[in-house]
Amino acid sequence: MVQRPGSRRAQRGMALLALLAVAVMVFAYVLVSRLNAASQFVGIDREHNAKVLAQAKRALIGWMAINAAQTDRNPGRLPCPEAVNSIATSSEGVSAPQIALPGPPPVSATPDCATVGRLPWRTLGLDKLLDAASEPLWYVVSPGWRLQNSSTLLNINSDRGGAMAIDGAAAPEVVALIIAPGPAMNVQAATGCVPQAQARAAPAPAMDPLDYIECFDAAAPAPAFSTTGPAASFNDQVLRVTTADLIPALEAAVADRMQREIAPVLRNVYAAPNWGLTGTARVFPYAAPFADPAIAAYKGEGIVPTTQGLLPFNYSLGCPGPPDPRCDPLFVRWSATVPTVTLDGTNVFPCTFTSPSTVECTGTYLALGAIQLRFDGVVNNVAMALRTLDPSRITVQYRSLLLFWASAATTTSGTLRSDGHADIRADATIPGLLGLSYEFLVNADIGVVTDHPLLDASSTGPGSTGWFVRNEWYRLTHYAVSVKNTASNLPNSCAGANCLRIDFPVSTQNNVRSLLVLAGRSINGTARPSATLANYLEFGNNNGDRIYEQNPISRVLTAAKAPFNDRVLVVDSN
């Protein structure tokens, strides 16, 4: 009997097998799709990325610290991203502006320092770190923390933050980002994300960052970046470099540099053989009482008998257009006591003030031969400031009645007084001849007691201290002096209990004449600037006594005295 196709006996289960095959194929497709999706961002990739990102971050912080501690005139600056013209060359990985290897990183005038670029791995000393997708790391650095060109002067200190927006909100705590870009993706539109089918050709200077990292706008007033986003729009792994990461290292470097560069200068502002001091005697200026060091309130004027507070960083010369309370030409000024000129130790001529800052002395004399001329004046508040002598600002001239004015060589000196003022004296020898009549003219400018170079924010050369005042580290620096080492106790020096004392964890130094305390960033959560000393100094450093303490720098809250980030620096000791 012939069986008809489709009869029950003809059924051999083929349909079932076909169905099973389809089911297996569908299951396999789903399984592979899921595995494939998961493999794009699995934990092992993230772990790898986390390691290389952390390594890069550590190298970045260390690079900053070393440069800040050395001679960088912008301590705290971060390197620029990789120079685009180094990409795909043997210099790849070098920070912009282009620098040569080997050697220190000089800067060129080429303003090619971008906000975003690849990590300058070679400048940091690293290997070319790759993320899990074998892509080099990218790097974002906030404005204000990188050099635009060789003349850029930054203003970085403990209270500075970044100028970027992160994840849609201002994030002053973020100063840099290090990014593992992950594989190329088809970026879908989303909040903060511009659609972009990422295409990655061979690395070249013309690389578009949007082909590597997602959801950013470097051109925004505050460059905007993301650390997270929708899966269809974002696959970067981003590590923030925050002020909490960076500033402690910066403070360590700056404290080290202050000890080397600032303390020695401060030690010798009023020291023998000048200012009437002899031997190894030194005098330290009075402190400016602690106040909110915001520029609107802080005049930086020392007051007798204040010995603890802020550095007396007032100045007289070159006051800027917008008033700076620290600039006060009338603080260190001529005393109301009229200066005089004495000839041959006997004839006294009173001088006249031709302006608040200038003195003029004139007179005539008859002499058989050369005679001695001596100018005496008093300048107020010298020991309440940082000043130095400029002998060129006192000139002595003479002439016979028939001749032109001629200049006499002048020797100028100053002597501190116990009230903090200073006696200024100038000596000259002027000629006389056969009893002829001569005329003398002495001009004395208040600039004879001029601003100390430590106050000069414009100094940028090698070895200059301009960074300290330019970046306003003086606002974050507490200053103390033993009363026995102020002008009121000339020429004594402290001894025993008169000296300042520093308690270290396992030792004590009890012979300190003067010290500085770098207060560091706010670690008690208060905003800066602040008018409360305890918001700057910790524990025993803010109680006003002569005893300071240098505890371990620590943010561990369980430690006996933590958090603590004061750094005590000895300016001078017996």
Judged by the rule CB under 8 A, the positions of this chain that interact with another protein are: 51, 55, 58-63, 65-66, 69-71, 90, 100-104, 122-127, 248-249, 252-253, 255-257, 260, 552-554
Q: Which is nearer to another protein, 34 or 561 (CB)?
A: 561
In the complex, the smallest distance separating the C-beta of residue 47 from another protein, rounded to whole angstroms, is 11
Do β-strands 340-343 and 347-350 pair in parallel, antiparallel, or remain unpaired? antiparallel
Q: Which is nearer to another protein, 409 or 506 (CB)?
A: 506
Q: Which is nearer to another protein, 127 or 208 (CB)?
A: 127
Amino acid found at 3: Q
> What single string gives the DSSP state of each residue in 444-505?
EEGGGEEE-GGG-TT--STT--HHHHHTTGGGGEEEEE-GGGSGGGTT----GGGSEEEE-S
Q: Which is nearer to another protein, 289 or 563 (CB)?
A: 563
Give residue 229's Cα distance to chain centre. Answer: 35
In the complex, the smallest distance separating the C-beta of residue 218 from another protein, rounded to whole angstroms, is 26
User: What is the Cα–Cα distance from 437 to 403, expressed in whole angstroms?
Assistant: 11
Q: Which is nearer to another protein, 127 or 419 (CB)?
A: 127
Give residue 317's Cα distance to chain centre. Answer: 23
- Closest by CA to 85, choosing from 208, 207, 205, 202, is 205
Q: Which is nearer to another protein, 171 or 246 (CB)?
A: 246
Q: For 188, which DSSP code?
A: P
Which of helix, strand or coil describes residue 442? strand
Q: H/E element holding 5?
A: none
In the complex, the smallest distance separating the C-beta of residue 554 from another protein, rounded to whole angstroms, is 7
Residue 463 CA neighbour count, 13 Å, CB half: 2
Sign of CA dihedral 28, 30, 36, 38: negative
In the complex, the smallest distance separating the C-beta of residue 68 from another protein, rounded to whole angstroms, is 9
User: What is the Cα–Cα distance from 23 to 70, expressed in whole angstroms?
Assistant: 69
Q: Which is nearer to another protein, 105 or 414 (CB)?
A: 105
> What is the residue whose two structure tokens read 């790849």?
92
In the complex, the smallest distance separating the C-beta of residue 548 from another protein, rounded to whole angstroms, is 18
Q: Which is nearer to another protein, 17 or 556 (CB)?
A: 556
Q: Which is nearer to another protein, 122 or 513 (CB)?
A: 122
Q: Which is nearer to another protein, 417 or 567 (CB)?
A: 567
| Exposure letters 402-417 (e unless 16+ CB within 10 A, then b) | eeeeeebebebbbebb
In the complex, the smallest distance separating the C-beta of residue 248 from another protein, rounded to whole angstroms, is 7
Which of helix, strand or coil describes residue 169? strand
User: What is the Cα–Cα distance from 7 to 3, expressed in whole angstroms?
Assistant: 7
383 burial level (CB within 10 Å; 0-12, 13-18, 19+) = buried
> What single string gives the DSSP state of each residue in 84-132?
GGGTTSTTTTPBSSP--SSS-----S-----SEEE--HHHHT----B-T
In the complex, the smallest distance separating the C-beta of residue 518 from another protein, rounded to whole angstroms, is 12
Q: In the chain, how long is the greatest CA-to-CA distance?
A: 165
In the complex, the smallest distance separating the C-beta of residue 331 from another protein, rounded to whole angstroms, is 34
* Relative orientation angle of helices 243-257 and 43-69, to the nearest 10 degrees: 20
In the complex, the smallest distance separating the C-beta of residue 426 from another protein, rounded to whole angstroms, is 39
Give residue 525's Cα distance to chain centre. Answer: 21
Q: Which is nearer to another protein, 107 or 288 (CB)?
A: 107
In the complex, the smallest distance separating the C-beta of residue 91 from another protein, rounded to whole angstroms, is 8
In the complex, the smallest distance separating the C-beta of residue 222 from another protein, rounded to whole angstroms, is 27
In the complex, the smallest distance separating the C-beta of residue 249 from another protein, rounded to whole angstroms, is 5
- Closest by CA to 502, choosing from 554, 547, 536, is 547
**CA of 537: how far to CAs of 247, 305, 377, in Å?**
16, 21, 41
Q: Which is nearer to another protein, 60 or 213 (CB)?
A: 60
In the complex, the smallest distance separating the C-beta of residue 558 from another protein, rounded to whole angstroms, is 15
Q: Which is nearer to another protein, 20 or 100 (CB)?
A: 100
User: What is the Cα–Cα distance from 84 to 495, expressed in whole angstroms?
Assistant: 61
498 touches 463 (CB < 8 A): no
